[in-house]
A = this chain, B = another copy of it.
Amino acid sequence: MKNEQALTKEMILDAAESVLRRFGPDKSSVVDVARVLSVSHGTIYRHFPSKAVLRAAVTERWLHQISDPLQAIAEEKGGSTAQRLRQWFLVLSQSKLAYAVEDPEMFAMYTAVTLETADVISEHVDCLISQIAQIVERGIKQGELKPGQPEVMARALFIAMAHFNHPAHAYEWSETTLGQDFDSVWGLLIEGIKAS
């Protein structure tokens, strides 16, 4: 047995991710995760009270890998609001696409797990929408966007861009028109919110 004191949540999440990758979500157990770490399953349960909680934590961490870099864009100074918003959506869709293409099995698994853990996904969506709202709010203050409620506008933008971000559309991301479609949908949306 390893020194259980040194066991961090991060290490358990790494092990859980590798187990999920190896066995898939249905066949993974807390015992498998404990085995990878050479600890008892009781030790894992002390950090994560159930398999469902552990799986949700793995998913949450994965979703942060998507949302954290976007937070940086939302906070960026310089450039126009229109450019910053477009960049935000472009990076979101590119990171989803990268996951879907480079690691399709994990992407499918996370998508399935995410649908199961409704709280985790709704927190993720709320987090993304509040990042957009942050950009929009600044844009309104600076007179670059039409006046309006930033949260409502942000939610509308997010929903309208679902084709490029929502994992349910991943099967459409191989279409050759994807880039063109991004530009034309984004073109409509920015026209709709820009101050004239």
**A153 interface contact, C-beta 8 A:** yes
Given A190-B192, A191-B192, A191-B193: A184 and B163 within 8 A (CB)? no
Chain B: CB-nearest residue to A146: B191
Q: Is the interface of A mostly helix, strand, loop or mixed?
A: helix
> In the complex, which of the residues B153, B169, B196 contacts A188, with contact meaning CB atoms closer than 8 Å?
B153
Given A189-B192, A191-B192, A191-B193: A156 and B181 within 8 A (CB)? yes
Copy tally for this chain in the complex stands at: 2
Name which of A162, A187, A190 has the most chain B CB atoms within 10 A of its CB.
Answer: A162
> In the complex, which of the residues B153, B163, B188 contacts A162, with contact meaning CB atoms closer than 8 Å?
B163
Given A163-B160, A168-B166, A169-B162: A188 and B184 within 8 A (CB)? no
**A152 interface contact, C-beta 8 A:** yes
A196 neighbours in B (Cβ, 8 Å): 196
Chain B: CB-nearest residue to A164: B159
Contact at B193–A152, with CB atoms within 8 Å? no
Docked complex Cα distance between A171 and B121 (Å): 13
A155 neighbours in B (Cβ, 8 Å): 181, 184
A residues sitting closer than 8 Å to B (CB atoms) are: 115, 146, 152-153, 155-157, 159-163, 166, 168-169, 171, 181, 184-185, 187-193, 196
